[in-house]
Chain A
Amino acid sequence: MTATLLAAKDLTRHYQVRHAWGGGGLVRAVDGLSFEIQPGETYALVGESGCGKSTTARLCLMLERPTSGTLTFDGEPVGSDRRALRAFRSAVQPVFQNPYASLNPRMRVGATIAEPLIAQGGWTRAERADRVAEVLEQVGIPAASATLFPHEFSGGQRQRVALARALASRPRLLILDEPVSALDMSIRGSIINLLKHLKETEGLSYLMISHDLATVRHLSDRIGVMYLGRLVEEGDSEAVFASPQHPYTQMLLDAVLDLKRPPSEDGEADDAEVPSPLDLPSGCSFHPRCRFAMAECPTETPALGPANGRQVACHLYRGDRSELLAQ
């Protein structure tokens, strides 16, 4: 039995917004989110823009403090004291979406990669140089390239450099925020393969944030589907992709355009919009877009509960309503 690596419990982040010309309110970006990441696991959070997945990533990196709820890393609550927080920051490293923006254009990539080591402390200059060479080789870039600047690399290579920087401090968890979305199709495959390879050789865990469901399917072990700040479905990634249970997950997977799928002529027309986060619908926030919406949906917020071997937050799976789903 291995210990859980990262556990989020009732994680909540609200933002008070106020417009200069009046109005505003409370945005519940993340609202009572609980999930766990086991060692060696890739956990993916997916959802449309505005569902709170990036806020969750920032909370897990402690770039943002939760309004309420707790984050536990390796059994210890995160953020209790400065020393523990420093250790946490070495153990949890981010890789951001756009390697054109995440690397400092005026720093040689070797210096960028060595920066987390300086922050971590305890490394001599020579040790740092060795480590930089080592991680560059790991991501498939010649160690001699440490003296180059970011503009001398292509997009795919830059993402490799960003990955090398994240690996430098020997982290245990990488937070991957849309790690391949900014890259060209022909480059994505090689980065996805590299991420898989590093996970196996380095024993890493990943928290992956993405809207690109095909990439998620190739990388993730477990998946959490978010809608307006809450998890609506969570489970084994293959099971969720094979038979999505929550109506939102079904809609999301149906909407994916895939080169191997024939074009759908009619399809469920979903011209409905994601509701404003300032004015969430009552009850289940998905009910205005849901084709199964029932009487209790606008009044009662469904909690995550077991359904067909996973967790689903939907009234359809409470009581005996399976006949509705068969339609």
Chain B
Amino acid sequence: MTVPGEALLQVTDLRMHIHTRRGAVKAVDGVSFALYEGETLGIVGESGSGKSMLCLSVIGLLPHGARVVDGSVTLSGRELTGLSARELRDVRGSQIAFIPQDPNTSLDPVFTVGSQLRETLALDGLRSKGATERATELLKSVRIAAPAERLRSIPYELSGGTKQRVAGAIALARSPRVLIADEPTTALDVTTQAAYLRLLRDLQRSHGLSIMLVTHDLGVVASACDRVAVMYAGRIVETGPVRDVLERPQHPYTRALVAATPSIDERLDRLAVIEGQPPALHDVPPGCPFAPRCDERVERCGELPLLVGSGDRAVACWVAQAAGAER
């Protein structure tokens, strides 16, 4: 467990809305968290919980029609919301980098690995021989065998795991301090996934990276993250150290999610099920968004609970907060 130092990335009450014909989709609806130096923070949630939109809001790569309507994102004390596209472009890659989910779509299929790496390096004025040397070094650092030859490869010649390593190398090219990885191993096989997560760990140590790892897989969270934030309907409902949260979840949603995840180490006759559906983000009911599916619903759940912390844990649930106050 990393000792929390200074908050490198601080997100405060971030709200991002997407305008559609059906009204404003509140994809990120008042999210606050801090990413500390040298830690891995897992952002876990189901599809539609807003976790990918949160990443894109943080790095300012908003989809069409989306707008950050409120809140702030600071990186080493510098405010990122409201920066011009040009200023943001300078920040991205050099201070905060992004690994997208599927390397088949994030790498350009018609350019060699080397030219895609050199394109990034050229932003720092590194060209020709120097760039090639640095590119080889980068491929080596993500443990790609025969890096010099791989520079001449076109993405289709590489396996999924190698492609994702190349995406990692591109992200690291300008020595960022923060790495945001959106489901980086979802498209990979189990064996490749384990190796990739180990690589991220090693890179974190050697480069002093802080990582924000977005995933839907609690297994990935358990093995790769120090802290976790659980998202539901565009909000964070629970945060804390990974082991704590997974072993003693406080929010009923986290509890249900842990119970619904089959474990490989035991066979159950029936798996726990969360009844109902997550709400559509253009039509989130007032009050606690999980209340309609919650077994522990009380009258107060008609009001929206805020994320309230004690120690290193925080939970957005009236029932859990009341139980915490009693203790």
Residue numbers of A with Cβ under 8 A of B are: 48-49, 154-156, 184-186, 188-190, 192-193, 196, 211, 213-215, 217-218, 238, 241, 251-264, 267, 269-271, 273-274
Contact = CB atoms under 8 A, between A and B. Distances in A.
A272 B149 CA distance: 17
B272 interface: yes
Which 6 pairs from chain A and chain B are nearest by CB? A257-B219, A189-B271, A186-B274, A263-B223, A214-B262, A259-B218
A283 B267 CA distance: 35
Given A193-B270, A263-B222, A214 B193 contact: no
Interface stretch (B19-27, B31-39, B154-162): B154-162
Contacts of B145: 271
Contacts of A251: 191
Interface of B: 46-47, 143, 145, 159-162, 189-195, 197-198, 216-224, 243, 246, 256-258, 260-274, 277-278
A255 B190 contact: yes
Contacts of B198: 267, 269
Max chain A CB contacts within 10 Å: which of B145, B193, B195? Answer: B195
A220 B159 CA distance: 30
Contacts of B143: 271
Given A49-B160, A259-B246, A270 B260 contact: no
Given A238-B267, A241-B264, A273 B217 contact: no
Nearest to A182: B47
B47 A184 contact: yes
Contacts of A257: 190, 193-194, 197, 217, 219-220, 222-224
9 contacts: A186-B273, A188-B262, A189-B273, A189-B274, A196-B269, A214-B219, A259-B263, A261-B223, A267-B194
A259 B189 CA distance: 17
Nearest to B191: A255
Contact of B219 (A155, A193, A217, A256): A256
A153 B219 CA distance: 28
Max chain A CB contacts within 10 Å: which of B47, B258, B269? Answer: B47
A185 B191 contact: no
B265 A185 contact: no
Contact of B191 (A192, A238, A252): A252
Contacts of A218: 262, 267-268, 271
Nearest to B143: A271
A154 B274 CA distance: 14
Given A186-B46, A261-B265, A273 B162 contact: yes
A264 B198 CA distance: 9
B194 A258 contact: no
B142 to A, nearest CB: 10
Contact of A48 (B46, B189, B258): B189
A252 B223 CA distance: 16
A219 to B, nearest CB: 9
Contacts of B261: 185, 214, 259
A48 B190 contact: yes
B189 A211 contact: yes
A179 B6 CA distance: 45
A271 B197 contact: no
B221 A259 contact: yes
Contact of B264 (A238, A256, A274): A256
B223 A260 contact: no
A186 B219 contact: no
A270 B197 CA distance: 12
Contacts of A254: 194
Contacts of B197: 257
A258 B264 contact: yes
Max chain B CB contacts within 10 Å: which of A156, A186, A193, A253? Answer: A186
B272 A189 contact: yes
A211 B189 CA distance: 8
A88 B221 CA distance: 44
B189 A270 contact: no
Contact of B46 (A185, A190, A262): A185
Given A189-B273, A259-B222, A259-B246, A213 B267 contact: no
